[in-house]
């Protein structure tokens, strides 16, 4: 148990340090503030970006839709969110005087890196199949998924830049916030509840109706891995592999080039990897299993602003898809 989890979650030495009075409260409350702060920051920076784009469109006499197809726009749309994540992490570090372990960065046993790789392969292809069925289900009720890719060009050396802004930065930033700062504050609600909460937050955070099930399962699985490893490092690896493989497939289309038999084999092996990795984490690796010791309410109340904003944006995206 680290210093911040002592004394009902207040920062170590917080009672004697008036400069840290803002966070002299249960650790769950801080996690809720971090979640809401992240979402509010994303909304604000999106508004500023949209207004700026409008000015650029008017000044250059270029339609906004045309500007949104450029690589510059796509890079900025990814990088601006990373700026918010880094800002939240810096605020947490400075106000809380947090150490690396309080961000979830702790020593990891080698086996968890192996499990992370196996889990990544399992999630990628098995869940892609499940997600395909979910998208088909949405289409039956009239939902149309967005067709244009939001990725910048991956032609030639462009793939390096895309890997950095779409795979490296999100893996580091999102995992540090979700499986590091937030999870460290809510682990005492129990392993099952923490995984369900992690899946829910990660799903609504992405605000993408077509990936709701996919992101929920990923969020829950990442949370379980972080709890078992007692570190965020393996989940950063899983997250990076997931995004990187998607980028490479977008660039080289290797999945589209394999035969039907080859695809079946890939999905079958992926399913085995998913079952094996999650089975081990759930049934055989219970040393870090947590029973419910605390309530979730101290987290939910300050997180409610972020949850409501995410829900509203999810509904707006869903309504847009229903209108075609």
pLDDT higher at 26 or 283: 283
Q: How far apart are CA 42 and CA 174, in angstroms?
A: 13
Residue 249's pLDDT is 84
Cβ atoms of residues 278 and 8 within 8 Å:
no
Positive or negative: CA dihedral 206, 207, 208, 211: positive
Write the pLDDT tens digit of every residue in 277-310: 999 999 988 766 666 666 788 899 999 999 999 9
Whole-model pTM: value is: 0.85
DSSP 52-89: HHHHHHHHHT--HHHHTTSHHHHHHHHHHHHHHHHHHH
Q: How far apart are CA 307 and CA 33, in angstroms?
A: 11
Once rounded to an integer, what is the mean pLDDT over residues 42-53? 93
**Which of left, alpha, beta for 2 (phi over 0: left; psi -120 to 50: alpha)?**
beta
Q: Using 50, 70 and 90 to split pLDDT, how confident is the model at 99? A: confident
What b/e string do you get for 210-248 counting C-beta neighbours within 10 Å, with b at 16 or more? bbbbbbbbbbbbbbbbbbbbbbbbbbbbbbbbbbbbebb
Write the pLDDT tens digit of every residue in 130-139: 888 888 888 8
Write the pLDDT tens digit of every residue in 240-265: 999 999 888 888 877 778 888 888 88
């Amino acid at each position: 148990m680290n210093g911040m989890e002592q004394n009902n979650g207040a920062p170590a030495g917080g009672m004697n340090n008036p400069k840290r009075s803002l966070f002299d409260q249960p650790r769950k409350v801080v996690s809720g503030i971090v979640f809401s702060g992240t979402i509010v920051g994303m909304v604000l920076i999106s508004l500023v970006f949209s207004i700026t784009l409008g000015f650029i469109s008017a000044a250059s006499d270029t339609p906004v839709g045309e500007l949104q197809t450029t690589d510059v726009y796509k890079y900025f749309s990814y990088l601006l969110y990373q700026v918010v994540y880094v800002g939240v992490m810096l605020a947490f570090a400075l106000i809380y005087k947090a150490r690396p372990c309080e961000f979830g960065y702790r020593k990891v046993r080698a086996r968890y890196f192996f499990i992370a790789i196996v889990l990544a392969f399992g999630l990628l292809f098995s869940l892609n199949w499940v997600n395909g069925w979910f998208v088909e289900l949405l289409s039956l009720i009239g939902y149309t998924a967005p067709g244009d890719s939001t990725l910048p060009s991956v032609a030639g050396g462009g793939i390096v830049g895309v890997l950095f802004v779409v795979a490296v930065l999100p893996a580091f930033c999102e995992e540090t916030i979700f499986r590091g700062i937030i999870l460290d504050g809510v682990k005492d609600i129990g392993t099952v509840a923490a995984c369900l909460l992690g899946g829910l937050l990660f799903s609504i955070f992405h605000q993408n109706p077509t990936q709701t099930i996919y992101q929920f399962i990923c969020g829950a699985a990442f949370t379980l891995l972080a709890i078992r490893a007692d570190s965020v490092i393996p989940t950063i690896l899983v997250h990076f592999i997931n995004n990187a493989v998607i980028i490479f497939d977008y660039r080289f289309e290797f999945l589209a080039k394999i035969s039907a038999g080859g695809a079946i084999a890939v999905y079958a092996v992926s399913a085995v990897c998913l079952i094996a990795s999650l089975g081990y984490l759930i049934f055989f690796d219970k040393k870090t299993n947590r029973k419910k010791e605390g309530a979730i309410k101290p987290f939910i109340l300050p997180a409610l602003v972020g949850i409501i904003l995410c829900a509203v944006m999810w509904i707006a995206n869903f309504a847009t898809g229903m209108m075609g």
